[in-house]
């Protein structure tokens, strides 16, 4: 009876399918990002212990390893659900793309199992293998975690800039898997995603240990964690704007409609302005309340202040992304990244004896990295719409013909809420234990 009222829900099955993927990706991407970067922090702590013999770094490596194992387990569940959803919700996409881009999906599976194997060795082999071999297992976990993200992002980059095949009669032929893997957007997306993963996780760890330093500035444990997380945070935060510029120029070259939606650019202009803030209105084809920097968009997108930037008016309206969603998400992503870069500079200057105001600001900025990741993926996915494979297969064509998708949407959303609650409880226990660390 509870689901009977959903028959009148004002959403189509396509809407529910897209919403289910959005919820699944939004949930999974947090664990994927942590799975990439927390092992790197763990490995650095292990390396410092081997180098100095300081037991503080050993304790830190163990605690980060426990967090890695918890988040790895939940990420495995949510990632498995996503793999089933791709096949069940989007059969046309899998039918078209399987022979072209199946290789990175397969290699991601190898990377995942490699990470699982070496994580087991790291967690349970400390007193069973030599210290060097144990450290090597930590390195393997870090590398395989990054490799897993690398292969998945290659597939997503191909969806944005499909390559490696010829299209004849609507059927892909002359498939070249390696060229498909390394599509025009591959390098920019991979670099941007990996940096964002390290940045978001390091910012969160920095916030946690800054919070404990506010309570006890003499804690060697939290000072050690603050140092390791801080260096990863600072390096990734300062590299990320460079990566963002690289990514934006690739979008300008290969997905001009997405760039126009990101910037609220409705008209084609020479010397187009850069818009900060604002809210696009497709009805009037105007971006209201934006601060405009003359020639800024042309300069950033093409490194030429007089470059011509295509507006949405150059494309059929049926091919427009939802510029309201894409522009606002893009502004959130850039805003969060800019704030984090600013505080990375402050951390570098004040890292030895951070004042209380800096510690408080770092605590407040802890969630910004993950907020930027969620906003960035919204830009990537919503900006590609209405295409699943850009310019080739529409999302409306890729969706399953099975009806009643509202029911699995609510059931899977409930599953993610349950998984999220379990993770929150387990991590809270870890944080409480960290509060008593020296």
Please determine, for residue 184, whether its predicted confidence score (pLDDT) is greater than 80. Answer: yes
Please determine, for residue 433, whether its predicted confidence score (pLDDT) is greater than 70. Answer: no
The pLDDT, as a whole number, for residue 4 is 43
Among 139-153, 394-408, 410-424, where is mean pLDDT lowest? Answer: 410-424
Whether residue 177 lies inside any domain: the answer is no
Of 165-174, 296-305, 334-343, 419-428, the range with the highest mean pLDDT is 334-343
Q: How far apart are CA 296 and CA 230, in angstroms?
A: 32
The pLDDT, as a whole number, for residue 5 is 45
Mean pLDDT for 378-407 is 92
Whether residue 57 lies inside any domain: the answer is no
Whether residue 353 lies inside any domain: the answer is yes
The pLDDT confidence band at residue 162, using thresholds 50, 70 and 90, is very high
In the chain, % of residues over pLDDT 90? 62
Whether residue 402 lies inside any domain: the answer is no
Asked whether 372 and 196 are in contact (CB, 8 A), the reply is: yes
The pLDDT confidence band at residue 425, using thresholds 50, 70 and 90, is confident
The pLDDT, as a whole number, for residue 3 is 44
The pLDDT, as a whole number, for residue 431 is 65
The pLDDT confidence band at residue 6, using thresholds 50, 70 and 90, is very low
The pLDDT, as a whole number, for residue 320 is 94
The pLDDT, as a whole number, for residue 8 is 52
The pLDDT, as a whole number, for residue 434 is 59
The pLDDT confidence band at residue 31, using thresholds 50, 70 and 90, is confident
Among 137-141, 252-256, 428-432, where is mean pLDDT lowest? Answer: 428-432
| Host domain of residue 352 | 191-395
Please determine, for residue 93, whether its predicted confidence score (pLDDT) is greater than 80. Answer: yes
Please determine, for residue 43, whether its predicted confidence score (pLDDT) is greater than 90. Answer: yes
Please determine, for residue 430, whether its predicted confidence score (pLDDT) is greater than 80. Answer: no
Report the domain count for the chain: 1
Mean pLDDT for 183-189 is 93
Whether residue 378 lies inside any domain: the answer is yes
The pLDDT, as a whole number, for residue 67 is 84
The pLDDT, as a whole number, for residue 18 is 92
The pLDDT, as a whole number, for residue 154 is 94
Of 40-49, 76-85, 92-101, the range with the highest mean pLDDT is 40-49
Nearest to 146 by CA among 185, 186, 101, 114: 114
Among 13-17, 73-77, 370-374, where is mean pLDDT lowest? Answer: 73-77
Mean pLDDT for 178-205 is 94
Whether residue 297 lies inside any domain: the answer is yes
Mean pLDDT for 76-83 is 82
Whether residue 243 lies inside any domain: the answer is yes
Mean pLDDT for 309-314 is 94
Arithmetic mean of pLDDT over the chain: 89
Please determine, for residue 238, whether its predicted confidence score (pLDDT) is greater than 50. Answer: yes
The pLDDT, as a whole number, for residue 436 is 56
The pLDDT, as a whole number, for residue 1 is 33
Whether residue 22 lies inside any domain: the answer is no
């Amino acid at each position: 009876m509870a689901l009977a009222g959903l028959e009148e829900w004002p959403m189509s099955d396509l809407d529910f399918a897209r919403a289910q993927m959005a919820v699944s990706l939004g949930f999974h991407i947090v664990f994927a990002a942590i799975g990439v970067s927390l092992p790197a922090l763990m490995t650095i702590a292990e390396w410092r212990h081997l180098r100095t013999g300081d037991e503080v770094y050993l304790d830190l490596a163990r605690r980060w390893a426990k967090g890695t194992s918890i988040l790895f387990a939940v990420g495995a569940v949510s990632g498995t659900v996503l793999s089933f959803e791709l096949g069940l919700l989007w059969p046309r996409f899998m039918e078209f793309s399987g022979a072209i881009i199946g290789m990175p999906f397969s290699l991601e599976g190898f990377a995942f199992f490699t990470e699982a194997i070496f994580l087991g060795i790291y967690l349970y082999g400390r007193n069973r293998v030599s210290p060097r071999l144990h450290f090597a297992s930590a390195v393997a976990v870090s590398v395989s975690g990054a490799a897993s993200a690398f292969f998945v992002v290659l597939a997503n980059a191909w969806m944005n800039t499909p390559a490696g095949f010829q299209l004849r009669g609507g059927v892909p032929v002359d498939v070249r898997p390696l060229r498909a893997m390394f599509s025009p957007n591959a390098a920019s997306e991979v670099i941007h995603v990996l940096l964002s993963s390290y940045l978001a996780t390091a910012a969160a760890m920095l916030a946690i240990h800054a919070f404990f330093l506010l309570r006890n500035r003499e804690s060697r444990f939290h000072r050690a964690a603050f140092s390791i997380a801080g260096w990863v945070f600072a390096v990734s935060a300062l590299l990320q704007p460079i990566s963002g510029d690289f990514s934006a120029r690739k979008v300008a070259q290969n997905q001009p409609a997405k760039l126009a939606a990101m910037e609220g650019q409705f008209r084609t202009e020479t010397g187009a302005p850069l818009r900060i803030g604002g809210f696009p209105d497709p009805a009037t084809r105007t971006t209201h309340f934006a601060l405009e920097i003359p020639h800024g968009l042309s300069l950033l997108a093409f490194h030429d202040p007089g470059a011509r930037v295509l507006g949405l008016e150059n494309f059929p309206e049926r091919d427009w992304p939802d510029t309201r969603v894409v522009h606002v998400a893009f502004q959130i992503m850039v805003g969060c990244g800019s704030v984090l870069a600013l505080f990375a500079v402050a951390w570098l200057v004040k890292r030895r004896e951070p004042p209380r105001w800096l510690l408080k600001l770092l605590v407040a900025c802890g969630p910004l990295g993950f907020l930027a990741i969620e906003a960035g993926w919204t830009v990537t996915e919503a900006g590609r719409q209405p295409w699943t494979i850009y310019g080739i297969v529409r999302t409306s064509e890729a969706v399953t013909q099975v009806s009643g998708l509202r029911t699995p949407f609510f059931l899977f959303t409930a599953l993610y809420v349950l998984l999220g609650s379990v993770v929150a409880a387990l991590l809270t226990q870890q944080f409480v234990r960290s509060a008593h660390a020296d």
